[in-house]
Amino acid sequence: MALNYVAYASRSKLLRPLTSISSISVLRRPFSSATDDLLSIETSVPFTGHNIDPPSRTVETTSKELMGFFSDMVLMRRMEIAADSLYKAKLIRGFCHLYDGQEAVCVGMEAAITKKDAIITAYRDHCIFLARGGTLHETFSELMGRVAGCSKGKGGSMHFYKKDSGFYGGHGIVGAQVPLGVGVSFAQKYNKEETVTFALYGDGAANQGQLFEALNIAALWDLPSILVCENNHYGMGTAEWRAAKSPAYFKRGDYVPGLKVDGMDVLAVKQACKFAKEHALKNGPLILEMDTYRYHGHSMSDPGSTYRTRDEISGVRQERDPIERVRKLILSHEIATEKELKDIEKNVRKEVDEAIAKAKESPMPDPSELWTNVYVKGYGVEAFGPDPKEVRAVLP
């Protein structure tokens, strides 16, 4: 790790792994005065490249950004834990896939890009929606099927969208979002927007044929597509080594370069995504493999402990948890005190509880909503009215 306070120690002395941050002596910086002064911090592990030179391990950040990372990830963690309780209370129905443990991926990604860049993902989408600027009220309303939800209560857990911030979902068909994402990146290049699309998928979807077909087109046409494998090591209940002959997913592109990233290190994710965006705009597609982990099961119907041990889960929590890593950085740099961080967590719990209460007040969609948002306006039900006898697809 390196910190840009040259008066306190030489740069070479401070360039050390994340695990040794406790021995660093730095200026005391109260939380209330967190600044934009640059800090240079080394990632926990090196990046591994495939057909490409990896980026530097030294990441520039600020005390203000680190506090933002902490607050955002704590909020996401609390939101997902609350969703667990709401599901068990039968206030959330259907499928529900939680993201706790993987927060560093969406938070680090968001720190490296703009809202003009696009993101598309599978069904583990709540936290990405939040990172793209969505609200807790919209999130819980959608989860509970209320009209105030981001998809008007008609999408549920798997179908979150925020088009005005470049978030294209939330998709339930395994791997199907990748060719859609490549289509978005084609539009970006066609319109000369100088933006990129991040298409996220899991290690379970990494063996889907459509992924390779989309990647082939992206490479042929040098599209600004970044395929992001969120490798949480289990496709539903199947360990990666049982499903993939080559679980080095960042190498799967063959002719397309790849990068393996510690997806539990928010600064490593930020650095990798910044690097990937610059590469994709100049050279075409890139694969990022985020080495991450989910604490819940695949979905709420999966206890998550039948195909892996509780010791494995607790071991990851103790050694690699993304929130605890940022907490240690903040405390070691004396950006904030333990009490100030505890106060943030306390306020987040209150914020989540208030959002749930407000979401419960939102009504369910009217049954007539079943007939809306089905066809492009001018075709089908919107042309003929809500009478089921008159509903028919009209093709140009």
Tell me the per-residue pLDDT of 318-371, one tens digit each, with 9 for 90 and over: 999 999 999 999 999 999 999 999 999 999 999 999 999 999 999 999 999 988
Is the Cβ–Cβ distance between 97 and 371 less than 8 Å?
A: no
Neighbours of 330 (CB within 10 A): 23
105 close to 118: Cβ distance less than 8 angstroms: no
> Do 202 and 231 meet the contact criterion of CB atoms below 8 Å apart?
yes
Strand partners, 226: 198, 286
Using H for helix, E for strand and C for coil, what is the string for 13-77? Answer: HHCCCHHHHHHCCCCCCCHHHCCCCEEEEECCCCCEEECCCCCCCEEEEEHHHHHHHHHHHHHHH
d(CA 139, CA 143): 6
* Tens-digit pLDDT profile for residues 286-312: 999 999 999 999 999 999 989 999 999
Q: pLDDT band for 373, please (50, 70, 90 cuts).
A: confident
* Rounded Cα–Cα distance for residues 289 and 208 (Å): 16
CA atoms within 13 A on the CB side of 176: 8
For position 378, what pLDDT does the model report?
Answer: 62
DSSP state of 167: B
Mean pLDDT within 260-267:
98
308, two tokens:
């892996």
Q: Residue 386: pLDDT band by 50, 70, 90 thresholds?
A: low
CA angle 352, 354, 355 (to 5 degrees): 65
pLDDT at 380: 52
Distance in angstroms (rounded) separating the CA atoms of residues 300 and 6: 50
Residue entry with tokens 């696009």 = 118
From edge to edge, which strands make up the β-sheet containing 118-120?
Answer: 48-50, 258-262, 286-291, 225-231, 197-202, 118-120
166-193: average pLDDT: 97
Hey, what amino acid is at 315?
Answer: G
**Neighbouring C-alpha atoms within 13 Å toward the C-beta of 37:** 10
User: Can you give the pTM of this predicted structure?
Assistant: 0.87
Lowest mean pLDDT among 15-19, 64-68, 143-147: 15-19
Interatomic CA distance for residues 303 and 136, integer angstroms: 25
Are 1 and 14 within 8 A, CB to CB? yes
- Quick one: three-class SS letters along 270-283? HHHHHHHHHHHHHH
Q: What's the confidence (pLDDT) of residue 375?
A: 77
For helices 63-88 and 103-112, what crossing angle results, to 10°? 140
* Res 27: pLDDT: 37
pLDDT at 97: 97
- Distance, in Å, from the CA atom of 40 to the CA atom of 3, rounded to the nearest integer, reads 5
Is 22 or 326 the better-scoring residue by pLDDT?
326
| All structural domains of the chain | 11-361 (3.40.50.970)
In the prediction, which pLDDT does 32 show?
A: 52
**Beta-carbon-side half-sphere exposure of residue 273 (alpha carbons within 13 Å):** 31
pLDDT of 25 over the 80 cut: no
The most distant pair of C-alpha atoms in the chain lies apart, rounded to whole Å, by 79
Indicate the average pLDDT of the chain: 89
Does position 9 have pLDDT exceeding 50, yes or no? no
Confidence category of residue 177, pLDDT binned at 50, 70, 90? very high
- pLDDT tens-place string over residues 52-89: 999 999 999 999 999 999 999 999 999 999 999 999 99
How far is residue 296's CA from residue 299's CA, in Å, rounded to a whole number? 7
Task: Choose among 84, 106, 124, 63: nearest CA to 333.
Answer: 63
Residues 112-125: tens digit of each pLDDT: 999 999 999 999 99
Count how many Cα atoms sit within 13 Å of the Cα of residue 72 in the half-sphere of its side chain. 28
Indicate if the pLDDT at residue 47 is higher than 70: yes
